[in-house]
Structure 1
Amino acid sequence: MPGEAQERARLRARPDFPWIARQAAISLSDAYRGNLLLTRLLNDRGRFVLALLILDMHLEQPDSPGLTTGRLKAEAVALDVCSPGRVSAILAAFRVFGMIAPAPDTDGRRRRLVVTDKLMAIHRERWRTMLKTLALVMPEDGERGLRHLDDPVFITPFVHTLLEPLRGGWRPAMDIPAIGHFAERDGGLLIALALFGVGLNGQPVSISQLARSFRISRSHVVGIVQEATGLGLVRRVDEAGERGPGVLPEPALIDAMEEFIAVALVRQMVAVRAGIAALNARAAA
């Protein structure tokens, strides 16, 4: 997006940005750690994009089509996010966990759904994590975003703007290929965040610890780590001793994750500004 590359470069040129990026990674990783709803329902690229699609449809004007299973399936398939069957499975899980609910509709042929406060709260908590980090590097944008997260006039364009590049076909892996290996695997991005977060202290993270933290199987973590090792993104530390066995990030993964956090922060900045523009328009009306 025009101007965003320059903003990312400006962030990464800050001497303190490696520390700031790691604090964001640690905070995000901690938010997921041990949380079954987050790790099983909202943790990979497909489910992340799908969740934003759900929010965007839910926040449309009352006279718009709104959120329906059929519409969500059609858009998810068109964007190559996931299959219709996976949409059905995720929506069923969301309903079981009280994250979406059926809504009355004057059109009897349409079965509308609405997002519950439970799902909105999960997203707001993640956004707060990123906006607190944004406030460290762009204080005005970060602080304004934090102040207005509960205002529907702000949140509607905020969500729409976060989704817009993804709806247009952009994916972070296009700019950061190393992210693709993790983002396409269940729990993969959580593993990358956790490894990046410990990159400075040099203390390896064990396979078992990663599996327990994010409620995924040990064999699944082993598969992700083995592939990442072959790509030069992580290394295994198997010898006994003070550091103990485990996994550490290689410089290629550290660089990729710093860029990923920079991308996420700039996307938050753009979304905040869209939300503030809507608030200003309301005030001027």
Structure 2
Amino acid sequence: MSAASLVNLYSGNRLMNRVLNDRGRMLFGFFALYLHALPEAEGGGLTVSRMAALAAETGVCSRGRAKAMLALLRWGGYLTPSESEGDRRAKPLEPTSRMVTQQIHRWQLQYRSIAILDPKVEELAMVLGDRAVFNDVMICLGEAFRSGHRVLDQAPAIADIADRDSGMMILLALFVAEQGGEEMPSIAELARRFHVSRAHVLQLLKDAQGTGLMTRDGTTGAGRLTDHGHEALADFFAASFAFLRGTAYAALEAMAARAAPAAVSD
């Protein structure tokens, strides 16, 4: 369910596959939401300098690339100059409604997948459309990442694939097709779905085959995951679900704490 929701989100979406199509760019988009949600008193507020510093601190990319990525997100309609009051010299940015709506949908799908294992997480999925709750989640996820938590540390076999354009989506698309008993997609189909070249898909598949993640028979079909590939994805999903479950509980606690003063005053 988790894999299918991600694949469906990216399939055929030219803009997302252009702007948010690898781990670094996906994390960068998430950091924009995190800095915007974080109070200024705690070092928040989305500006070029803060984003560049955060990207360098976490090792996501260099300061120069961070500035280029912000320009790309603005070009894609995901960020816009902020209209809030304050020091205009800082030139703050803010996520657009497109960015927020898209990301709320993404995280709701993931939390609803986890709720199958832990029904309490459904409480968060149900109220994630509340912007204050969504900000709580972004802050919890961001603080966990800044403290050093990396999901792919627990699934190193697929880390290289995840760092490539649409690499993770292509791997998940193969997994979803196999689990659903569908015909395995061709290289050309994967290229069309995720808006990359056939040469790029072919090289990615060759590299995945070289590390034992998948096997190919030399036809136009993309291939199938090996036992090692399935184990690597199992590690990824286990680490991802554990991480997201923990942040869900932290966000629910933050939501309850925010509601407590209102209950007392009532």
Scaled by the length of structure 2, the TM-score of the pair is 0.89
Partner of 2:113: 133
In the alignment, the residues of structure 2 paired with residue 162 and residue 283 of structure 1 have an alpha-carbon distance, to the nearest angstrom, of 21
> Which of 51, 56, 61 is the equivalent residue of 2:29?
51
Q: 2:252 aligns to what?
A: 276
Matched, 1:228 2:208: yes
Deviations 1:9-33 (A, max 9, x none): xxxxxxxxxxxxxx32122111100
Shift of 1:168: 2.7
Equivalent position of 2:175 in the other structure: 196
Give me the whole-angstrom Cα distance separating, in 2, the residues matched to 1:203 and 1:96: 37
**Alignment counterpart, residue 51 of structure 2, candidates 69, 72, 82:** 72
Per-residue CA distance 1:228-267 (angstroms, 9 max, x = gap): 111111111235xxxx733111111111112212222222
Kindly indicate whether residue 122 of structure 2 is the aligned counterpart of residue 160 of structure 1. Answer: no
User: What is the Cα deviation at residue 100 of structure 1?
Assistant: 1.0
Distance 1:44 1:138 in 2: 29
* Structure 2 CA distance for aligned equivalents of residues 67 and 205 of structure 1: 40
* Long gaps (5+) in structure 2: 262-266
Letter in 2 for 1:262: A
Instruction: Tell me, in whole angstroms, the C-alpha distance in 2 between the residues paired with 1:222 and 1:205.
Output: 13
Query: In the TM superposition, what is the alpha-carbon distance from 1:107 to its structure 2 partner?
Result: 1.8
**What's the CA shift string for 1:55-108, capped at 9, x where partnerless?**
111012255541101110111122211123322222112212321111244324
Q: Is the 8 A contact 2:152 2:236 kept in 1?
A: no
Distance 1:227 1:120 in 2: 34
Cα separation, 1, equivalents of 2:196 and 2:99: 22
Q: CA deviation at 1:43?
A: 2.2
Distance 2:221 2:98 in 1: 39
SS at match of 1:109: helix
The 5 A counterparts of 1:180-191 are: 180-191=159-170
Structure-2 change in CA distance of 1:76 and 1:228 (3 Å): same
CA contact (8 A) 1:202 1:248 kept: no
Residue type matched to 2:223 in 1? V
Corresponding position of 1:111: 91
* 1:40 alignment partner in structure 2: 18
- The two structures, once aligned, show a CA RMSD in angstroms of 1.9
Residue ranges of structure 1 left out of the alignment (5+ in a row): 1-22
8 Å contact from structure 2 (residues 136, 255) kept in 1: no
1:195 shift after superposition: 1.4
| 2:75 is the alignment partner of 1:96 | yes
Q: C-alpha distance in 1, partners of 2:212/2:98?
A: 39
Count of residues paired in the alignment: 258
Q: Identical aligned pairs, as a percentage?
A: 33
Q: CA separation in 1, counterparts of 2:134 and 2:221? A: 45
Among 229, 236, 247, the residue aligned to 1:253? 229
- Counterpart residue identity of residue 59, structure 1: A
The residue type equivalent to 1:226 in the other structure is K
Q: Does 1:216 align with 2:192?
A: no
What's the TM-score once normalised by structure 1's chain length?
Answer: 0.84
Give the letter aligned to residue 22 of structure 2.
Answer: D
Q: Kindly report structure 1 stretches of 4+ aligned residues shifted beyond 4 Å.
A: 62-65
Q: Which has the higher contact order (CA 8 A, sep 6+)?
A: 1
